[in-house]
Structure 1
Amino acid sequence: MTFYPILKKDEDALCLNHISYFNSKLCHFIINNVSSIEELKKNITPLLKQFNLKKTTLFSEKLNSFNAKKTTSFMEKNSIKLLTLNNPEYPPLLKEISFPPPILFYKGNIKCLTKHCLGVVGPRKASPYGIRVAELFTQECSQAFSIVSGFARGIDYTAHKTCVKNNKETIAVMGVGLDKYYPYSHHTLANEIIESKGLLLSEFPLFIEPSPFHFPLRNRIISGLSKGIIVCEAKTKSGSLITVQHAIDQNREVFAVPGSIFDSNSEGTLHLIQQGAKCTLHPNDIFEEFQMPPHSITTHNTLPLIEKVTQEALTPDESSILSILSKPMHIDSIIAQTSLPMTKVLHSLTCLELKNCIIKNEGNIFTKNHHAL
């Protein structure tokens, strides 16, 4: 195992993280060429010129203004710990990726990292179908894997919450420092993850504001920790596909769960299947790929991702709307053909979508979901 002298002292590691977290190549350049922060301060100008870093003045200011005591004090009070490339507990799979984060902050059960990990990803604005996929695959795969996701709304939240409900380990890879939660509404979830022996993980320094570029950086860690990634659903332009690209670059398996060809939320997963991702209909497909014994609770060849809806489960207004949806239809046409008030149509469409009877597409176009009827 390579030993990096600059990471030996926590204060030096924290300072290095503060000044270079945004550029993993720069961070690795420093740990391979400098043995301490004091040495870096003495040789800052020639080193940065060698790396061709242009904003040397700003870099020097950050280097000299860093307050290690403020950070270490907060970490001690809030049970936040440091994990560096020098630590034997650093995840071996993550160490394999190009320019792995030399410094990680964590809170919770670090033993989650010793199990096989599986990433679960999908959109923030997930459909009821995507939520159902995330729940079922997480519930069953968490029997054998630590489930990794990104703590965002939608699929990420569902994956973490499902693990919490079943008292299984989950790893939340944060897009912010561990002094805050993003989104803040998930602060209760963070506590639940720790209470259920899960782990919060971040490469970002404490006391910095969230930034859009943090989240693609976070995604490479989600895939880097994982043997494979399950894509529950994704549009053609989706943050989930950034994680997928990282997974491909890192030689990880990609499992795509198919959805309706009429649903824009499934366009990305269907395209992945066309490009060679494993078409995944059941958790056992994942266990088979890794030559693991089945851990799945269900024994059917496919999961009941969509439960059949009987006529008795529908209101008269819902039945009226379904009767005219022989083809994709705009909401204005639905209102005109059913002669129902707009408020009733909106309410019924929402209920039908929750029952998986219809699929809402872009532009307020609705399609009947024949699999549920």
Structure 2
Amino acid sequence: MAQDESLRAWMALSFVPRLGMKNLSRLLSHDAPEKLLSYSNTQWQAIGLKGDQVRYLQSQAIQEAERCLEWQQASELRTILTPQHSLYPPLLKEIASAPPVLFVEGEVQCLSLPQIAIVGSRNATIDGQRAAHQFARELVEHGVVVTSGLALGIDGYAHDGALSGQGKTVAVLGSGFNHLYPARHRQLAERIKHSGALVSEFRPDTKPRAEHFPRRNRIVSGLSLGVLVVEAALKSGSLITARYATEQDREVFVLPGTIYQSNYAGSNDLIRQGACLVQNVPQIIEELGAMLDWSINQQNLTQPALFSSPNDEEQLPFPLLLANVGVEATPVDILASRTNIPVQDIMTQLLELELSGHVVAVSGGYIRKGRG
């Protein structure tokens, strides 16, 4: 089919070593993926490919793309997404290093629903495990999808908590599907793909490697409106996820912990740096109120709003603009760029939001106030 041909060509190009999304986009500006694959050596080099990259395209790329298509066709639960696909998650598409290919097993629509990531230590305390499970269970009761990395410890308890609450959960893998890691979570992964989704940017035959896991954390945060750090030591991988979240303009929430346990040293340091301290799920919902409402409206969901104002009939004004005003000062020109709203209209809306108490003008731009 033409669709398979296009996907095969896209994957072949995206698999080229050291290419990256930016250079892939540059190549695609020259021609359609299917036509690019028929280029000669001279044509490839003329548009910037190196000798070893050309050799890969001519020797391995198509075969590896074909194996990926065979993986997809082996199950109705499997989908391969590119940024051109209508089901590619819109929030993830916004990040600077959006993966050019996503392999998905399960309910692919989950990836575009409002998500909160829960991350933390692999060697979690009993309190941390209980908190991850409880927060995940309560979040799905509010209609939020819980996202994590399928690792031992906090990740596993978060996934299980979401499933126990009859909700959806997304697990982002640090390996290909044929080498699921950790093996101890195979049964959990089976449960997730029937009530959520498993996701990987790695080809199905890719084995787990240490450098894959920090890299996959950008997808965990990129899929989510915010990241909740339950328990993290000073050198925890969760801090990498928190850093990605900040770079991606996502909210970072942290559960505070005792100063006498090293497992909480990283968590408490995040709070010291300005992350949002939370003690319960309603505080998360309140902080993300406008963004969650806007995200739900974008999906045309029929479920009740995740955040209710004192007057249930009241609608938050200018939800698109509010969704882009956070707890740190955001300049007007940045808001205009994010929303594609003219600066003059942005100024008018901000004035109304300021008068109604939803935002506050501060040095450097605007911040949210209260439930806004």
Q: Note whether the superposition's TM-score is higher than 0.5.
A: yes
- Contact 1:16-1:37 at 8 Å conserved across structures: no
2:177 is paired with a residue whose SS is coil
What is the aligned partner in structure 2 of residue 252 from structure 1? 250
8 Å contact from structure 2 (residues 79, 108) kept in 1:
no
What is the DSSP-based 3-state SS (H/G/I as helix, E as strand, rest coil) of the residue aligned with 2:253?
A: strand
After superposition, the Cα gap between the structure-2 partners of 1:94 and 1:30, relative to the gap in structure 1 and judged at 3 Å, is same
**How far is 1:38 from its partner?**
4.7
Q: Which moved more, 1:75-84 or 1:169-178?
A: 75-84
Aligned to 2:181: 182
Instruction: Quickly say closer, same or farther: Cα 1:283–1:59, change in 2 above 3 A.
Output: farther
Q: Distance in 1 between matches of 2:177 and 2:91?
A: 23
Name the aligned partner's letter for residue 264 of structure 1: S
Which range is displaced more, 86-95 or 66-75?
A: 66-75
Q: Deviations over 1:124-150 (max 9, x none)?
A: 111112111101111111222110101
TM-score (norm 2): 0.71
Provide the residue aligned with 1:73 in structure 2.
70
Structure 1 residues 115, 61: CA separation in 2 closer, same or farther (over 3 Å shift)? closer
CA shift, 1:262, in A, is 0.7
Shift of the alpha carbon at 1:97?
0.7
User: Partner of 2:55 in structure 1?
Assistant: 60
How big is each residue's C-alpha offset from its partner over 1:288-314, in whole Å with a ceiling of 9 and x where there is no partner? 101267789xxxxxxxxxxxxxxxxxx
Q: Is the 8 A contact 1:93 1:224 kept in 2?
A: yes
Aligned CA RMSD, in angstroms, stands at: 2.7
Q: Quote the residue 1:171 is aligned against.
A: 170
C-alpha contact 2:83 2:100 (8 A) present in aligned 1: yes
Contact 2:105 2:198 in 1 (8 A): yes
CA gap 1:11/1:260 in 2 versus in 1, 3 angstroms: same
* TM-superposed deviation, 1:33: 4.1
Q: After superposition, where does 1:75-224 map in structure 2 within 5 Å?
A: 75-79=72-76, 80-143=78-141, 144-195=143-194, 197-224=195-222
Q: Give the distance between the partners of 1:48 and 1:274, measured in 2 at CA.
A: 50
Q: Deviations over 1:4-43 (max 9, x none)?
A: x999712112223332588444444434444225525625
Seen in structure 2, the aligned counterparts of structure 1 residues 165 and 83 have a Cα distance that, compared at 3 Å, is same
Out of 30, 35, 54, which is 2:32 matched to?
35
Contact 1:20-1:26 within 8 A present in 2 as well: no
Conservation of the 8 A alpha-carbon contact between 2:231 and 2:264: yes
Q: Deviations over 1:236-282 (max 9, x none)?
A: 11111111111000000000110000111101110110110001111
The yes-or-no answer on 1:228 pairing with 2:226 is yes
Please give the alpha-carbon distance, in whole angstroms, between the structure 2 residues aligned to 1:21 and 1:199. 28
Question: Cα–Cα, structure 1 residues 186 and 6, in superposed 2: closer, same or farther, change >3 Å?
Answer: same
| Alpha-carbon displacement from aligned partner over 1:182-205 (angstroms, at most 9, x marks no partner) | 11221111111122x210111111
| Aligned 8 A contact 2:234 2:265 in 1 | yes
> 2 CA distance for matches of 1:157 and 1:58?
39
Give the partner amino acid of 1:61: Y
Structure 1, unaligned stretches of length 5 or more? 297-373
What pairs with 1:338-353 in structure 2 (closer than 5 Å)?
none
> Taking structure 1 as reference, are residues 284 and 45 closer, same or farther at Cα in structure 2, changes over 3 Å only?
farther
Q: Distance in 2 between matches of 1:91 and 1:241?
A: 24
Q: Hey, what does 2:10 align to over in structure 1?
A: 13
Tell me how far apart the structure 1 counterparts of residues 247 and 49 of structure 2 sit (CA, whole Å). 26
The verdict on how the C-alpha distance between 1:218 and 1:34 changes in structure 2, with shifts beyond 3 A counting, is farther
Structure 2 unaligned residues grouped into runs of 5+:
294-304, 309-372
Contact 1:7 1:86 in 2 (8 A): no
Q: Which has the higher contact order (CA 8 A, sep 6+)?
A: 1
Distance 1:177 1:17, change over 3 A: farther
Tell me which moved more, 138-147 or 73-82.
Answer: 73-82
Q: Deviations over 1:224-243 (max 9, x none)?
A: 11000000011111111111
CA contact (8 A) 1:232 1:256 kept: yes
Cα drift, residue 161 of structure 1:
1.3
2:286 aligned partner: 288
Write the distance in 1 (CA, Å) between the matches of 2:89 and 2:205.
Answer: 25
Q: How many residues align?
A: 289
TM-score by length of 1: 0.71
1:19 alignment partner, SS class: coil
Q: For the residues of structure 1 that align with 2:56 and 2:81, how far apart are their CA atoms?
A: 26
How far apart are the structure 1 equivalents of 2:94 and 2:72? Answer: 28
Distance 2:49 2:244 in 1: 26
Deviations 1:322-362 (A, max 9, x none): xxxxxxxxxxxxxxxxxxxxxxxxxxxxxxxxxxxxxxxxx
Q: Which residue number in structure 2 is paired with residue 354 of structure 1?
A: none
Distance change >3 Å, CA 23–CA 114, structure 1 → 2 = closer
TM-aligned CA deviation for residue 104 of structure 1: 0.9
Q: Is the 8 A contact 1:227 1:253 kept in 2?
A: yes
C-alpha spacing 1:98/1:286, structure 2 compared with 1 (3 Å): same
